[in-house]
Structures are given as structure tokens and as C-alpha cells.
Structure 1
């Protein structure tokens, strides 16, 4: 019976708190769409496929370029955008520690000394002897222990901590996404620069061929063997070749400057690049359940998932604000007060046993009416959660689209490259035939130079197609997450358990469900 009355009193107090409104049905996570049709032809060509064949952390090493490896090392060390992302991670982790501190008691100490003149017309003088009026007082207080603790009965502080941990994990995933975008941008720019350097050599050789053709046409004009028309045509072709050479050189400089910016250096640091040979990987292996496994390999998907989990915890925190807050404060120390004429004895009195002071103060606060603020905050957090879930769904669809597009691009670029290889073979045979006819005296040197120029023209196009194929490979690596699966284990350690959504969903199954297969 003694416990019955306090329990009834607590229930009465809780019932008097602000009521928690019912929300609309929360947004739901989308399941990974099927990609069976897009993957069917790849699985037919590749009998076995495993996650080990996914891009690794240093995927750029498969291209066999020491220059590219050096650029990546500099970019990972000096790129300002990547440094800013790292700073955001440190900031989020620090904020998570701030939220975690709310689960622990606050203990501090304080001391102060005050000098005061008592007003002759104030309340203190009116209630005490007349001698107190106009008196000068010195007082001192030393609290060796101040204790404050908020009991987290409803999980408000715990939810705030979980939300901060989720936001820190999302920032870390976004940093991995920034790293992925940086490295793929460096690779594409480098491959384009290598192609342009070869194209510049080809353009220079084509200028020489056009100059030789112009010289021959001018000689034949002087000898009366030809009219002026071949000279005009050769002059036009020569200027076009020079124009192409200048444009190629300009584009090469632009790529050097772009790479310098990406690696966080000045333009002079990339002036002697593009001397390495780049390997062109031909094989490709993909797992059988790509959409399912994709959720573990894409940093943007993981970031969106953690944002949604953080928003879910913010809902839980907002709901807890409708309930009573119970805390405890306590202090222990000494204090004393003396008239100024007796200030010399203050220290002796202050540290005497009779000056010891202590106190304990339990506290209870009820949010009975706050003008709708709590309901508005809860509504805002629910909307934030729905927005986060829909952002995740949109990111998932975008990821699937990127994979499908990159698979198609890689396949088509390979087909185009193979077709152009056959065209190159035909052009070289035509050049060899022209060489034989010149040696046999059946043709003059102009025909041979024209055939040679046609070969150089196709070699120029070949460099562009090789770059397109390498870029398609990088696009595929980027769409598959670029080795992010190595990082996911570190991020998962930030979350010590799998909390459930306060509205009834288990969000973390979307992160680890691939382990159930």
C-alpha cells in the first residue's frame, strides 16, 4: 500500500504531460530492383564470379602505370576536398562524444569571494538589526563537489547519441564517396592526357606529311605537270593539320592543369606527365546477385542509410521530450559570511566544521504546455526521416542505373574498339599495297603519303576510343563502389547494436541483409 500511492502519483504526472500526436505512415525502404537482363550476357561469358573480383582499395594499380599511382598518392594526401571531408568526419565524431557525455553525471567544483554593502533601505536591513543597514559584508563559498545527473528513463539521451553516431558514420561514408569520386576523376583525366600526348605526336607527324604533299604539289606546278588546284588543296589540308595539332596541344595542357588541381598541386607539378604505357584490362567478373551486394559496396548508399537511421533516432528523441525529465543535483562544501571589520577571521570560520554545507535536490519537469513546440519538432523529425528514406530510395535507383549504364558503356566501347582494330588492319594493308606499287613504279609518292595519312588518322581515332574504353572501365569501377566494401567493417563498428526504428522498422537489416544469403 505504501508503494501504491507513489505509483498512482507518477502515473498522474505522466498523464499530465503533453500528448504525443500520431504521425502519418512513415516512408518505406525500396528493395533492390532486378538486373537479370542487364547481367545475363556477362554471366554467360563468365562462369564463376566472386566478391573478390570486385574493385579493391587500390583498383587503379590494375592499369600498370607508375605515373597514375603517384598521382593517386598525391591526390589522397593533398586534395582540399578530401581534407574537408576528413574534417567533417572529425567534427561529427566529436559531436557524438558530446552527445554521449549526456549519459554520464556532471561533476565540478567552484569557489567565489564576494564583497557587498547592505542597503540601508533594503529588505535585508529591514528584517535585521539596524546595525546591518549600510554594513559592509565579505562572503566566501567553496563547493568541493557539485553533482548533476539526468536520469534517461525514456531513452532521450541514448537516442541523441545513436543519432550522432549515425550521422558520424554517414559523414565517414560520404568521405569514402568523395575519395571514390576523386580517384576516378584523376584516372579519367590521366587516361585522357595519355591519349592526347600520343595524339599530339600523331598530329605532328600528319603536319609533316601534309607539308611533304604541299612540297610535291608545288614542285609539279613549277614543272608544269599539274595545275594550281592541287597546291591550293594541299595548303588547306596543311592548315587543317596545323589547327588540329594546336587544339590537341591546348587540350593536353588543360588535362595537365586539371590533374594538378585534383592532386592539390600547382600547374608545374604535372608538366612532365603522360610518359607511361597504360594497360587495358579486358576481363570482367560480377557477382550473381549484383543489386543485393551493391548495397554493401556503394558509399553513397551506406551514407543515405545511416542518415535515415539517424533521423529515426531523432524521432525517438523528439518523442521522449514529451515525457517528464527527472534529474538530481547535489553539492558539498563550506561557506561563511563576515562583516568587513571581522574579515580577518573569515578564513578561520570558513574552514571550520560549523561552516560545512551540503544539499541534495531531486528535480522533476513536466512539459504541460509549450505552445505546440514539441509537436512541431516531432513533425519536423518525422518529415526528415521520410525525406531520408526517399533519398535512400532515389540513391538506390541511381546506383542501379549507373551500374547498368556502365556495363552497357563498357561492352559497347569494347565492341567499338575491336571493330576499329579491324579497320586499322585494313588501312595498314592499303598502306603496304601502296608501298609495293611505288616500288614497282605503278604509283607516285603522293599515293603513299595519302595512305600513310589515312593510317595516322585512324591511329588518332584509336587513341580516343582506347580512352573511352578506359573511362568506361573507370565508370564501372565507380558504379560498383571502388573497393568501399573494405571500409564498411570500420563504419559498422561505430554502431554497437542494431536499434529498431521507433515506428517499427529495423533499418540495419538493409545494411547487413546480404550476409543472410
Structure 2
């Protein structure tokens, strides 16, 4: 038996070798257009030269803690725990990791066991009965036990390996995209919180403006009653008061919108954000994190760039898989077990027959399949995967250019808002001094309450604008942090993209 089995193995090996040689002469893969080329990251030397404040580092993972605000820290923790969008991204990542295990199994042999018991009556008028009249109408039992069945596909062309690598690329892309969802979520929360904090402080100023307009209206009504002014002054004071009331309602509505947005982002209902913005204002960072070698480092620190590169690499692997479809598929199946058949009136003997040495059976079946005519299907699939690869590379290039634009825009916004904020602080200080002098003149009897209130109004207005500028500066800082990847760091990815598929 051992000699016979070794002969079978030698014959199988000879058959497989001859098949490979024959396939090498038969395979023909059509040439496609030149594949898309990865774009080299442009330098940003002149853009970086315009930034006066620079730190040689990338943002930290928990970058929001630099604003020293307990509320925003709590919002981030709640969002990272409960946000549905982040949970969906995590589910997609688990799905991709499961597909990696599925594709990886193709590289290994399949071993299984099977058993069956079949009861059958042979037709008296069937083909089998016509050829074997003695068994016509017989009732039989067939028992089969194969404790070991073997299947294996020889991966001569690297198809299964390339499929596994494509699945690994997709899983890595999903992991990077989950980091991108996390980044978009946290920066969205930060923007909404900073705008809401500014609106909360602006609402206090608008209420002070409403109170000021109410006092001016009363003064105008009193002067009109005393005959010191005409009714035009009263009408103007009433109009200014109503405009301030309307403005107050508008700011309150905008504040509610930001509260509801924050509640949605952290995965809660609107009531959970009703008491936000009660803590002190966030600290505005003094410097912008602008590291050296910015354009090259973006690939390691931007999750969207990493995801785009992983997907392009995965698409390149699928091109290889499509090429292997032109080659033959060679596999081997084998089984070892027992099978026995008996008439139903001797069913009690089936077990004795089944486990006897004479019922021992085995089989070896090599398989060879070579595509000859597929109606253009293989060429079409190859063309599809080549186009998908080109699209993935161009998407990477577009993402790279978009990332550089976001960095440049955010740096410009950071510098501009910082300059405007410093200038506005000086303006508010000047107007506050005018108001202080008006109070001195009131105490000295040189002016009345109206002049003091009129000098107080521009102070409130410019403080209102100052709150907006402070919010713009904080949002510009968040935009820059987001453009720099928000603490994402993937040291496993290459600093330069891989060469395009041939």
C-alpha cells in the first residue's frame, strides 16, 4: 500500500509540473495604459516662513487638554465612548479584520471530517435497475465515514497571497479611517464648544446692551415728558431697544443650536447640554505647532492620507489577483475513511461492515483548470482593477494636495486672527478708557447719564466683537491641529508611497 501511494504522489507531482509548464506557454495578459503615479509632496517653505510662532513638534493625541477647560475634556470623553459614528467606524474595522482571517485561510490546507447515512429504494423502472435487474426495488443503506478529508490549492502565482495582502491593506485603511472619524469628531466638538462659549459670553453682553437701551429709552421718555426733547428721540430710543431685544433672541437661538450640536456629537439628547459653558473660558494657545519637514511628515501624521495610501496599495494587490486569473488553478483533494452498503433487511450488519478492514477507502484527486475562452470576462476584470488602482492613486494625490491646502489655510487663519485679536484688545482698552473718563465727568457734574451710557455702548459692542475674535482664534488653532493630524501617528507606514503597480 505504501509503494502504491508513493507512486500516486509521484504521478500527481509530474502532472502538476507538466501543467505549470503548459500554462506558462498559454497565459497571455493584455497590456494596459501606464498606471497612475504618486505625487511627491510639495515643500511649504514660504508658507512656514510667514508663521512667527513655531514649535518643532506635532500635536499630541489628547490635544484638547491644552485648552485647560474641564467641560471640553468631559465632552471629549463622552463622545469617544458614546458617539454612534465612531462606533460604526469601529464595526467596519472589525469587519475588515474578519475578512483578513477569511482570506488568510486560503493559504492553508482545509481539513475536515464528514459522515453520512443514506436510506434509498432503487426504482424498478430506472436506468440502474435496467442494467442490474437483480437489485430492482431493493432498499439499501449506505454508510460513509471520512474522519479526514483534505483540500489544498497550490498558490503558484501568488493569487491567494495577494488577496490576503489586499485584505490587510483594507483593514489598515479602515483603522486609519477610524482615526480620521475620531479626529473629525473631536475637532467638531472643539469648534462647537468654542463657538458656544463665545455665544454664551456674547449673550451676557447683549443682555447688558438691552439693559442700556432700556435705560436710554426711559431717559428719553422722561426728557420728552419734561419738554426737554421732542418725540423723535423717544421713537429712536424705542427702536434701538427693540433691535437689541431682537438681537438678544437671535444670539440665544444660536447658542441653543451649538448646545444641540454638542449633544448630538457626544451621543446624547438635547437636555444633556443645557448647562454647558458655565466654566471659565478656554485658554488660547500662545504658539502654533508647526514642525519641520511638514510635507513629508504628513503621510505619517494624517489619517486620511494613510487611509488613501493603504487603499491604493490594496488596489495594486487586486490588479495582481486579476492577472493570476489568466493562469491555471491547480489543487489537490484527498480523503481517508470507510464506506459500506447493505440491504435494509441486513441493517444490523452495517456497523460491522463499515468498520471492517475491507471497507477502508481512500482517494486522491488532483485538479487542473485553465481558462481558454471566457468571453472577455478576465480582461474586463483586469481592466476594472487597473482603473480602480488609478482612481485610488489619484484619490491619494488629491488628498495630499487637500492636506497641504488645509495646513496653509489654517496657518494663515491662525496668524490673521492672532493679529486681529491683539489689535482689538488695544481698541477695547481705548474705548474703556473713554468710558472711564465719562464716569469721571459725570461725578464732576460735567456730563449726564446719557453720555455715560453712550460711551458704555461702544465698549459693549467691541467686547462682543472681541468674544467672536477669541472664538475665531480658538477655532483656527483647532483647524491647524486637525490639518496636522490631531495626534495621529503611524510609524509603520512608509514616508514615501510604494511604486505603482506594473
What TM-score, normalized to structure 2? 0.94
Alpha-carbon deviation of 1:257? 0.6
Q: What is the match of residue 41 of structure 2?
A: 32
Aligned counterparts of 1:166 and 1:333: Cα–Cα separation in 2? 41
Q: What is the match of residue 501 of structure 2?
A: 503
Q: What is the match of residue 514 of structure 1?
A: none
Aligned counterparts of 1:295 and 1:501: Cα–Cα separation in 2? 15
| Cα shift readout 1:319-340 (whole Å, capped 9, x = no counterpart) | 1111111111010111111111
Alpha-carbon deviation of 1:368? 1.5
Alpha-carbon deviation of 1:398? 0.4
Q: What is the match of residue 271 of structure 2?
A: 268
Aligned length: 490
SS in 1 for 2:107: coil
Q: What is the match of residue 73 of structure 2?
A: 69
SS in 1 for 2:149: strand
| Cα shift readout 1:38-73 (whole Å, capped 9, x = no counterpart) | 11132x654xx43xx311110000000000000000
Is residue 475 of structure 2 the alignment partner of residue 471 of structure 1?
yes
Aligned counterparts of 2:458 and 2:433: Cα–Cα separation in 1? 11
Alpha-carbon deviation of 1:23? 1.2
Q: What is the match of residue 156 of structure 2?
A: 153
Is residue 440 of structure 2 the alignment partner of residue 436 of structure 1?
yes
Alpha-carbon deviation of 1:125? 2.1
Alpha-carbon deviation of 1:285? 3.7
Is residue 305 of structure 2 the alignment partner of residue 296 of structure 1?
no
| Cα shift readout 1:292-328 (whole Å, capped 9, x = no counterpart) | 1111111000000000000000011111111111111
Alpha-carbon deviation of 1:500? 6.7
| Cα shift readout 1:335-386 (whole Å, capped 9, x = no counterpart) | 1111111112111111111111111111111112211111111111110000
Choose from 326, 329, 336 the match for 1:332: 336
Choose from 182, 201, 213 the match for 1:210: 213
Q: What is the match of residue 140 of structure 2?
A: 137
Q: What is the match of residue 251 of structure 1?
A: 254
Is residue 350 of structure 2 the alignment partner of residue 346 of structure 1?
yes
Q: What is the match of residue 202 of structure 2?
A: 199
Is residue 359 of structure 2 the alignment partner of residue 361 of structure 1?
no
Q: What is the match of residue 30 of structure 2?
A: 21
More moved, 32-41 vs 389-398: 32-41
Choose from 120, 124, 128 the match for 1:124: 128
Q: What is the match of residue 58 of structure 2?
A: 54
Gaps of 5+ in 2: 1-9
What TM-score, normalized to structure 1? 0.91
Gaps of 5+ in 1: 505-517
Answer whether contact 1:321 1:374 (CA < 8 A) is retained: yes
Aligned counterparts of 1:45 and 1:142: Cα–Cα separation in 2? 77
Aligned counterparts of 2:459 and 2:127: Cα–Cα separation in 1? 106
Is residue 122 of structure 2 the alignment partner of residue 113 of structure 1?
no
Alpha-carbon deviation of 1:131? 2.4
How has the CA–CA distance of structure 1 residues 400 and 14 changed in structure 2, closer, same or farther, with 3 Å as cutoff?
Answer: same
SS in 1 for 2:363: strand
* Alignment root-mean-square deviation, CA: 2.1
Aligned counterparts of 1:116 and 1:168: Cα–Cα separation in 2? 49
